[in-house]
Amino acid sequence: MKMGLTIATDADLPEVVALVNLAYRGGDHGGWTREDYIGGTRTTVAELRADIAAKPDARLILLREDGVLLGTVWIEPAGEGAWYLGLLTVQPDLQAGGIGRRLLEGAEDMARSLGGGRMRMTVVHIRDTLIAWYHRRGYVLTGETLPFPHGDPPRDDLSFVVLEKAL
């Protein structure tokens, strides 16, 4: 069994998109990342390509075991020594098995090695279980909120809360 973190290439993007859309918006799985409060797809290959092109210092990190994609996480510089973390995704049937924690720790280690002193992220304000998971890993609410411009149709009753952790 070979498991490791790698940086995504363009060839990985279709597989990444399939996993992200399954974990966040797909089917009726019991995974706790599922965003059943909004419709539509979470991302597309074109969107990821555009994000990568627009943010060349960002990293889309993959975790594979024996070639099988288990999860993803995105990090990008956010200024003033901070890095932004997003797109933390784990195969729904493997959630609660430590993969998310491994991806989070790998992303934090990579940001730290690139000069990061803090990690920041946004979480939809109604995701109490997810916010509590990040709290257990050292993240704290900053008191900042941001609008939630997503959804099909867009939802104006949702917002993001900002969490942060010193690296």
pLDDT at 28: 59
Q: Please list, in sequence order, all residues whose beta carbon lies within 8 angstroms of the beta carbon of residue 97, skipping any fewer than 6 positions away.
A: none
Q: What is the pLDDT of residue 113?
A: 95
Q: pLDDT in tens for each of the 167 residues of the chain?
A: 556 899 999 999 999 999 988 887 766 555 555 555 566 677 899 999 999 999 999 999 999 988 899 999 999 999 999 999 999 999 888 777 889 999 999 999 999 999 999 999 999 898 888 899 999 999 999 999 998 876 666 677 888 999 999 99
- Residue 127 confidence (pLDDT): 86
pLDDT value at residue 37: 55
Q: Give pLDDT, residue 154.
A: 65
Closest C-alpha to 93, from 116, 121, 70, 127: 70
Domains in the chain, CATH or no CATH each: 3-166 (3.40.630.30)
Secondary structure of the chain as H, E, C letters: CCEEEEECCHHHHHHHHHHHHHHHHCCCCCCCCCCCCCCCCCCCHHHHHHHHHHCCCCEEEEEEECCEEEEEEEEEEEECCEEEEEEEEECHHHCCCCHHHHHHHHHHHHHHHCCCCEEEEEEECCCHHHHHHHHHCCCEEEEEEEECCCECCECCCCEEEEEEEEC
Residue 29: per-residue pLDDT: 52
